[in-house]
Amino acid sequence: MENGAGGAIGVVPPDAATEAVTVEHPHEERNHDASLTRAPAGEIDAMRKLQHELERRTRALERIEARFRDVIERNADAIVVVDGQGLIRFANDRAIALFGGTRAVLIGKPFGFPLVKDETTELDLLTDGAPRVAEMRVVESEWEGRTAYIASLRDVTERKRAEQGARDLIREQAARTAAEASAKRFRFLSESGSALTSSLNYHATLAALARVCVTGFADWAEVYAVEADGAVRRLETAHCEPARAPLVGALRGAAIPPKGSHPVLAVIRTRTPMLASRLSPELRASMIVDEGHERTVTELGMTSLIVIPMIARDRVLGAIALFSSDPRRRFNAEDLALAEDVGARAALAVDNALLYEEARRANQTKADFLAVVSHDLRTPLNAVMGYAELLAMGIPEPLPEAARERLQRIRTAAGHLLYLLDELLGFARLEAGREEVHPREVDVREVVREMEAVIEPLAASAGLAFQVDVPAAPVRVRTDPDKLRQILVNLGANAVKYTPRGEVRVVLREQAANRVIIRVSDTGIGIAPEHLDDIFEPFWQVNAGQRSANGGTGLGLSVVRGLVRLIGGEVSVESQPGNGSTFTVAIGGLLSSSRPEERTAP
Ligand code: ADP
């Protein structure tokens, strides 16, 4: 059926083809046609000519038709003829390959796709289980004398796949670029975060900020601060090329003329960031202060600008100006967003530095106050104690017994007051950084004995045993003996204070690595694990009630820690509630480590 149909697609109607074929066959019989022989010679000639012409045309038509069939069959496209009822009337080999199955299965089947004339539509096919895509163009024609549609389909699966691949690649590349940009941004922000928090010093923070801005972001940067009187000063600058650091360095310290239209002033006033991708001549001019500045800026290059305010706790602390000198690198909205992030972090860091500075100043004032007060209180107290001593000695004359007892109370209370003042004074001196170290060669055993002289009577009056365990040979160390004694006396006094019964023990040992350790242990109330770190903090006590009970200040251990650090040592504690405490002081500077701990008798 398809063979016969093949010859007739839309060009030669099937009837005409049949006609043409029938015309061909009578050709051999024409001499036997009696009517022809009877016709006049002229007519016969004309008829022959006509017949020849007819034959010639028929052959031409057949050739065209054969060529056409051939063309359709070998067409690179799949061709399907669909009749008015939507049934497939013809399909070439390509179409069969495209749709899968056989011609017999295909012919007579509904085509199933909408036929849109003169438009290219895309069909999704499933050929032998594999998805394929075809582009289809449809023309209206005739088939076996009736209206039909010729659909030519082109398999574009590979092209589509390639296109999709290219699209995926582009998407992938875009995603990679975006990922790289965000990784860079993240790196930049995290680096800037750690750089900005590396110091609590105000100027160091501003310098770090300027440096951060020129690592992979701006070519050069300026950091401005709003000063107490409202003046805006350029305090820090940085350039990405170290060779240019002196050039930008020369810009430091200058204040912006308050009346000008400098963009930094505008940003500080409006609290709004500014982006000038392309620096206009007017904007540039508004930033130039004088000829020298003009020369520097020309040499540095200024093509693109971002200015961001630094705002913390609703106060504008300053602004950051970021410059690009490269005409190809113009800042954009993304850069502005990044700069704003840095600005927010910078504001926090700068605010912290300012707060720290303020706190440090306040602390210094407090320490100065404590030092002055405790020192000034000591002088009259010395007079009180001195005269009390004289009275106790019977000068100018012996006191009656009742008065002596009261005098003793005065002396005890004055002694306690002196102890408190000494603690305060020691703490204040440490806090104010006024404590000086005077190292010299000492035998630590002597320092321990000095401590024993102070603590042993305290322990005895508290009903505690007091043991001192030192090596037989000298333990020579280069250290500050006064500081070390103060440390040991504080620890010993605490041991006595917090031990209701049992003993206080001091052990001195040499250790490897030129170190000496002194352990002060007691059998007292101990310290809960959660408090072990707190006890070294100033004014910290396990419970507030102790303050009055023990007459302590909560400063002893903080002074111990400060002094130990000052002489380059360490202090640690081991304790269990109810099972006593052991404080260990380790100091370096051992001059001859002839007796390591293992060889020393306990
Ligand atoms: P305080 O003047 O209160 O003794 P310290 O700074 O010397 O201040 O000690 C802080 C706190 O640590 C004390 O209040 C006490 O609770 C605890 N503490 C210190 N030494 C000991 C110890 N040997 N045994 C138990 N608790 C101690």
pLDDT of residue 545: 53
% of the chain residues with pLDDT over 70:
90
Q: Residue 544, Cα to own-chain centre: how many angstroms?
A: 43
Q: Assess whether pLDDT exceeds 50 at residue 13.
A: no
Q: Assess whether pLDDT exceeds 70 at residue 592.
A: no
Least confident of 179-193, 262-276, 555-569: 179-193
Ligand 1 near 556 CB (within 6 A): yes
**Bigger pLDDT: 593 or 9?**
593
Phi-psi region of 447 (alpha: psi -120 to 50; beta: other; left: phi over 0): alpha
Q: Which of 320, 335, 359 is the last residue of a domain?
A: 359
Least confident of 53-62, 141-150, 245-254, 479-488: 141-150
In a mutational test of the pocket of ligand 1, which residue from 557, 558, 581 has the highest number of ligand atoms less than 8 Å from its CB?
Answer: 557
Ligand 1 near 580 CB (within 6 A): no
Q: Assess whether pLDDT exceeds 50 at residue 270.
A: yes
Q: How confident is the model at residue 4 (pLDDT cuts 50, 70, 90)?
A: very low
Q: How confident is the model at residue 544 (pLDDT cuts 50, 70, 90)?
A: low
In a mutational test of the pocket of ligand 1, which residue from 424, 430, 464, 497 has the highest number of ligand atoms less than 8 Å from its CB?
Answer: 497
> What values do phi and psi take at 253, rounded to 5?
95, -20
Residues 219 and 323 in one domain: yes
Q: Domain total for the chain?
A: 4
Alpha carbon of 188 to those of 107, 184, 196: distances in Å? 68, 6, 12
Nearest residue to 589 via CA among 501, 534, 510: 510
Helix-helix angle 14-24:41-74, to 10 degrees: 130
Residues 494 and 535 in one domain: yes
Specify the DSSP element, H or E, that contains 174.
helix 157-196
Ligand 1 near 581 CB (within 6 A): yes
pLDDT of residue 25: 40
Residues 81 and 59 in one domain: no
Ligand 1 near 553 CB (within 6 A): yes
29 within domain boundaries: yes
In a mutational test of the pocket of ligand 1, which residue from 422, 464, 498 has the highest number of ligand atoms less than 8 Å from its CB?
Answer: 498
Span 307-318, pLDDT tens digits: 999 999 999 999
Nearest residue to 477 via CA among 594, 378, 335: 594
In a mutational test of the pocket of ligand 1, which residue from 421, 505, 541 has the highest number of ligand atoms less than 8 Å from its CB?
Answer: 541
Atom of ligand 1 nearest to the CA of 559: 6
Helix-helix angle 481-497:556-566, to 10 degrees: 150
* Cα 187 to middle of ligand 1, angstroms: 46
Under 8 Å between Cβ of 140 and 117? yes
Ligand 1 near 423 CB (within 6 A): no
Residues 83 and 108 in one domain: yes
Q: Assess whether pLDDT exceeds 70 at residue 37.
A: no
Ligand 1 near 562 CB (within 6 A): no
The residues near 447 (Cβ < 8 Å, ≥ 6 apart) are: 481, 484, 485, 488
Q: Assess whether pLDDT exceeds 50 at residue 602.
A: no
Tokens of 377: 């209180």
Minimum CA distance residue for ligand 1 atom 3: 554
Residues 50 and 136 in one domain: no
Minimum CA distance residue for ligand 1 atom 11: 541
pLDDT of residue 265: 95
* Cα 443 to middle of ligand 1, angstroms: 28
Section 53-72 average pLDDT: 81
Q: Assess whether pLDDT exceeds 90 at residue 586.
A: yes
184 within domain boundaries: no
CA–CA distance, 353 with 360 (Å, rounded to integer): 10
pLDDT of residue 311: 95
SS3 543: coil
Section 483-495 average pLDDT: 95
Minimum CA distance residue for ligand 1 atom 20: 494
Q: Assess whether pLDDT exceeds 70 at residue 389.
A: yes
Q: Assess whether pLDDT exceeds 80 at residue 72.
A: no
Ligand 1 near 489 CB (within 6 A): no
Nearest residue to 251 via CA among 263, 266, 234, 230: 234
376 within domain boundaries: no
**Long-range contact list for 405-412, CB < 8 A, 24+ apart?**
410/384, 411/385
CA–CA distance, 208 with 236 (Å, rounded to integer): 9
Tokens of 144: 């076996």
Least confident of 4-8, 28-32, 149-153, 568-572: 4-8
- DSSP annotation of 146: E
* CATH code, 515: 3.30.565.10
pLDDT of residue 44: 87
Q: What is the CA radius of gyration of the chain?
A: 52
* Cα 508 to middle of ligand 1, angstroms: 22
245 within domain boundaries: yes
* Cα 350 to middle of ligand 1, angstroms: 37
- DSSP annotation of 530: G
> What values do phi and psi take at 472, rounded to 5?
-70, -35
Q: How confident is the model at residue 266 (pLDDT cuts 50, 70, 90)?
A: very high
211 within domain boundaries: yes
Nearest residue to 359 via CA among 208, 201, 548: 201
Phi-psi region of 319 (alpha: psi -120 to 50; beta: other; left: phi over 0): beta
Q: How confident is the model at residue 364 (pLDDT cuts 50, 70, 90)?
A: confident
Q: Which of 24-33, 358-367, 427-436, 465-474 has the highest mean pLDDT?
A: 465-474
Phi-psi region of 100 (alpha: psi -120 to 50; beta: other; left: phi over 0): left
Residues 452 and 570 in one domain: yes
Atom of ligand 1 nearest to the CA of 580: 24
Q: Assess whether pLDDT exceeds 50 at residue 22.
A: no
Residues 25 and 88 in one domain: no
Phi-psi region of 596 (alpha: psi -120 to 50; beta: other; left: phi over 0): beta
Q: Which of 359, 387, 418 is the last residue of a domain?
A: 359
Q: Assess whether pLDDT exceeds 80 at residue 109.
A: yes
* Cα 541 to middle of ligand 1, angstroms: 6
Ligand 1 near 499 CB (within 6 A): no
Span 401-440, pLDDT tens digits: 999 999 999 998 998 898 888 888 888 888 878 889 999 9
144-164 exposure pattern, b = at least 16 Cβ within 10 A, e = fewer: eeeebbbbbbbbbbeeeeeee
CA–CA distance, 319 with 264 (Å, rounded to integer): 7
Ligand 1 near 522 CB (within 6 A): yes
Ligand 1 near 464 CB (within 6 A): no
Ligand 1 near 557 CB (within 6 A): yes
> What values do phi and psi take at 274, rounded to 5?
-130, 135
601 within domain boundaries: no
Section 115-130 average pLDDT: 86
Enclosing domain of residue 127:
76-155
> What values do phi and psi take at 550, rounded to 5?
-100, -5
Residues 231 and 304 in one domain: yes
* CATH code, 130: 3.30.450.20
- DSSP annotation of 294: H
Ligand 1 near 421 CB (within 6 A): no
Ligand 1 near 424 CB (within 6 A): no
* Cα 530 to middle of ligand 1, angstroms: 14
Residues 54 and 113 in one domain: no
State the CB neighbour count (10 A cutoff) for residue 283: 16
* Cα 526 to middle of ligand 1, angstroms: 9
Cα dihedral 15/18/19/23 (nearest 10): 180
Q: Assess whether pLDDT exceeds 50 at residue 23.
A: no
In a mutational test of the pocket of ligand 1, which residue from 494, 521, 537, 547 has the highest number of ligand atoms less than 8 Å from its CB?
Answer: 494
Ligand 1 near 571 CB (within 6 A): no
**Which alpha helices (H) appear in 197-257, and where do they start and end?**
202-213, 245-249
- DSSP annotation of 258: T
Tokens of 499: 């031990």
Nearest residue to 309 via CA among 344, 262, 260: 344
CA–CA distance, 352 with 361 (Å, rounded to integer): 14
In a mutational test of the pocket of ligand 1, which residue from 458, 534, 535 has the highest number of ligand atoms less than 8 Å from its CB?
Answer: 535
Section 113-140 average pLDDT: 88
pLDDT of residue 404: 92
SS3 511: strand
* Cα 553 to middle of ligand 1, angstroms: 9
For every residue of 560-597, DSSP letters joined together read: HHHHHHHTT-EEEEEE-TTS-EEEEEEE--BS---S-G
Q: Which of 74, 107, 135 is the last residue of a domain?
A: 74
Strand partners, 536: none
* Cα 494 to middle of ligand 1, angstroms: 6
Nearest residue to 558 via CA among 449, 417, 429: 429
182 within domain boundaries: no
% of the chain residues with pLDDT over 90:
51
Alpha carbon of 204 to those of 29, 188, 207, 227, 360: distances in Å? 119, 19, 5, 17, 16
Q: Assess whether pLDDT exceeds 70 at residue 480.
A: yes
390 within domain boundaries: no
> What values do phi and psi take at 227, rounded to 5?
-90, 170
Atom of ligand 1 nearest to the CA of 490: 7
CA–CA distance, 193 with 386 (Å, rounded to integer): 60
Atom of ligand 1 nearest to the CA of 555: 6
Ligand 1 near 6 CB (within 6 A): no
Atom of ligand 1 nearest to the CA of 526: 25
* CATH code, 233: 3.30.450.40
Minimum CA distance residue for ligand 1 atom 25: 526
Residues 317 and 342 in one domain: yes
* Cα 535 to middle of ligand 1, angstroms: 6
The mean predicted confidence, pLDDT, of the chain is 86
SS3 285: helix
pLDDT of residue 184: 77
Specify the DSSP element, H or E, that contains 327.
none
Q: Assess whether pLDDT exceeds 90 at residue 68.
A: no
pLDDT of residue 431: 82
pLDDT of residue 144: 73
CA–CA distance, 151 with 125 (Å, rounded to integer): 15
Strand partners, 285: none
CA–CA distance, 488 with 497 (Å, rounded to integer): 14
Residues 57 and 101 in one domain: no
SS3 312: strand
Residues 116 and 249 in one domain: no
Helix, strand, coil percent values for the chain (each to nearest 5) = 50, 20, 25
Q: How confident is the model at residue 499 (pLDDT cuts 50, 70, 90)?
A: very high
pLDDT of residue 590: 83
Does the bond joining 396 to the residue before it have cis omega, within 30 degrees of 0? Answer: yes
